[in-house]
């Protein structure tokens, strides 16, 4: 519905002109109306936490209210909800790729003398001196003497590129960065996202670009680094470069570098500021963190284990919560909705449900249903052969796609991802083809086929 139509309906409901509203959970959670007499769940909630919040909309005036829930007798609701849990699961090797983006090796190793660091910068400094005649040695070597650990560097990596490379949503990457911040060693400090690419364009020709470099150290460094790569800007009217690389080479903060570059767009004549013939554009939003570059392989492996265990723990917790609410609601359910339509409500079942909810929240122990999901049948060899056949079919039919075991399992369960969106892949005949087969079992079967094809 259009926003105006939704507001009209909500206002009528709040005034009491409308007695019943059919809406999403998001709408219901935003309602604060004291005299709601009934909440009806058309589908099972994902956990008891959600159920309690949602039924809490009813009876806020202290008068009797009723809550009804339609529970699918075949467990289809649970199957549907479970697939959303696996949408946020991440493979171990994907987390490793993310760590490689964050913990980039740097020059300030623990055992590296300061003189070695200085010599590494000398080659680039010669080119800068030729352009500007400015010596950067004090900036580069500041705080780098002695055999101390890496103090940490500003690291940036593109949001869009990372999402497409890792095939996980932006919010999941942000969550992993938060987990890293909570690491016992506090390796990482997450910073706000920022644009990481810069393009400097000269409308005054190559000469104006060189003149701008004479008064802007970051631009001079960008040109110098390109010269080291064999890229000449003698006849160029523009240059593109990553901001963080320039900031790292100079030893400045990226914010200061951006400020210096942006100042190129303005000039002063007769005491008045006006636009110059230089244009500076920033693009490609990226994640930013402060991270050390001298972690040992053992420290990286330990960090990887921590992140992967957090992801698996979250997945298991959600499966357990789903199983708890399903078993609890099933234990008090009636076979027909006619029983709920009786004049006198079934107080005995209602009380049993309340006791189950209280026990759930008061108990510190949770049954690990994720370790052994009993409602799923054991692997069927015939079904396994069918799934393996579908894996081969997908790989041969779409050879341009770099499938992983998890991406194929997502398609078979109807779970979209950034690289495999539902708007496209829902047209595939294998979309949601194996909803009732354990997700992780499909991942294992698909990975086995992929490894076999590669070898």
Report the C-alpha gap between 265 and 201 in whole angstroms.
10
Report the C-alpha gap between 429 and 425 in whole angstroms.
9
Report the C-alpha gap between 164 and 159 in whole angstroms.
9
- Give the pLDDT score at 128: 44
Dihedral sign of CA atoms 140, 141, 142, 146 in order: positive
Residue 273 CB burial class (10 angstroms; 0-12, 13-18, ≥19): exposed
- Give the pLDDT score at 312: 92
Closest CA relative to residue 277, chosen from 218, 197, 212? 212
What pTM was computed for the model?
A: 0.79
Full pLDDT tens readout for the chain, 455 residues: 898 998 999 999 999 999 999 988 887 777 889 999 999 999 999 999 999 999 988 999 999 998 999 998 788 889 889 888 988 889 999 999 999 999 998 877 544 444 434 444 444 444 444 444 444 343 333 333 334 478 888 999 999 999 999 999 999 999 999 999 998 888 899 999 999 999 999 999 999 999 999 999 999 999 999 999 999 888 999 999 999 999 988 888 899 999 999 999 999 888 888 999 999 999 999 999 999 988 889 999 999 999 999 999 999 999 999 999 999 999 999 888 777 766 566 688 889 999 999 999 987 665 555 554 444 556 677 889 999 999 999 999 999 998 999 999 999 999 999 999 999 999 999 999 998 898 999 999 999 999 999 88
Report the C-alpha gap between 203 and 278 in whole angstroms.
6
Closest CA relative to residue 172, chosen from 389, 415, 7, 8? 415
- Give the pLDDT score at 345: 64
Q: Under CATH, to which class is 3-83+315-371 assigned?
A: alpha beta
- Give the pLDDT score at 135: 41
CB-side neighbour CA atoms (13 Å) of 76: 7
Kindly report the CA angle at 335 between 332 and 338, in degrees rounded to 5?
A: 105
Can you read off the two tokens belonging to residue 152?
A: 């940490």
- Give the pLDDT score at 109: 55
Q: Which region, left, alpha or beta, applies to residue 271 given φ > 0 means left and ψ of -120 to 50 means alpha?
A: left
- Give the pLDDT score at 103: 94
Can you read off the two tokens belonging to residue 47?
A: 């956990």
**Domain boundaries along the sequence of the chain:** 3-83+315-371, 104-294, 381-454
CB-side neighbour CA atoms (13 Å) of 77: 19
β-pair type (266-269, 238-242): unpaired
- Give the pLDDT score at 111: 41
- Give the pLDDT score at 32: 84
If residue 189 lies in a helix (H) or strand (E), which one and from where to where? strand 189-202
The angle, 0 to 180 degrees and rounded to 10, between the axes of the packed helices 243-250 and 254-262 is: 110
- Alpha helix locations (H) across 67-204? 76-86, 92-102, 114-132, 137-141, 159-166, 170-181
């Amino acid at each position: 519905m259009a926003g105006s139509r939704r507001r009209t309906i909500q206002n009528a409901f709040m005034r009491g002109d409308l007695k019943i509203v059919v809406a999403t959970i998001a709408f219901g959670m935003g309602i604060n109306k004291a005299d709601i007499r009934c909440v009806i769940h058309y589908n099972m909630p994902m956990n008891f936490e959600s159920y309690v919040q949602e039924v809490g909309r009813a009876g806020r005036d202290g008068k009797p209210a009723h809550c009804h829930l339609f529970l699918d007798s075949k467990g289809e609701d649970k199957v549907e909800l479970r697939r959303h849990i696996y949408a946020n699961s991440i493979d171990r090797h994907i987390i490793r790729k993310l760590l490689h983006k964050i913990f980039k090796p740097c020059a300030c190793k623990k055992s590296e003398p300061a003189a070695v660091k200085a010599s590494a910068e000398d080659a680039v400094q010669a080119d800068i001196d030729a352009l500007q005649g400015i010596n950067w040695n004090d900036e580069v070597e500041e705080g780098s003497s002695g055999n101390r650990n890496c103090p940490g560097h500003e690291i940036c990596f593109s949001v869009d590129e990372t999402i497409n490379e890792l095939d996980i949503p932006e919010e999941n990457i942000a969550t992993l960065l938060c987990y890293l911040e909570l690491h016992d060693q506090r390796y990482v400090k997450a910073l706000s996202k920022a644009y990481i690419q810069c393009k400097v364009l000269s409308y005054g020709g190559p000469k104006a670009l060189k003149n701008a470099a004479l008064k802007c150290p970051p631009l001079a460094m960008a040109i110098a680094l390109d010269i080291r790569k064999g890229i000449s800007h003698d006849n160029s009217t523009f240059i593109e470069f990553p901001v963080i690389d320039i900031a790292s080479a100079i030893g400045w903060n990226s914010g200061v570098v951006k400020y210096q570059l942006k100042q190129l767009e303005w000039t002063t004549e007769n005491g008045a500021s006006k636009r110059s013939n230089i244009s500076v554009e920033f693009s490609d939003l990226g994640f930013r963190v402060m991270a050390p570059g001298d972690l040992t392989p053992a420290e990286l492996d330990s960090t990887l284990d921590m992140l992967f265990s957090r992801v698996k723990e979250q997945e298991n917790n959600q499966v357990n919560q789903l199983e708890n609410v399903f078993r609890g609601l099933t234990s008090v359910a009636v076979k027909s909705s006619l029983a709920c339509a009786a004049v006198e409500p079934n107080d005995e079942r209602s009380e049993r449900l309340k006791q189950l909810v209280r026990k759930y929240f008061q108990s510190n122990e949770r049954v690990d249903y994720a370790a052994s999901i009993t409602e799923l049948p054991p692997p069927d060899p015939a079904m396994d052969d069918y799934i393996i056949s579908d894996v081969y079919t997908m790989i041969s039919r779409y050879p341009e796609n770099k499938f992983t075991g998890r991406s194929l399992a997502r398609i078979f369960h109807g779970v979209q991802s950034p690289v495999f969106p539902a708007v496209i892949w829902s047209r595939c005949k294998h979309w949601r083809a194996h909803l009732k087969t354990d997700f992780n079992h499909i991942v294992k079967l698909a990975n086995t086929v992929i490894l076999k094809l590669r070898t």
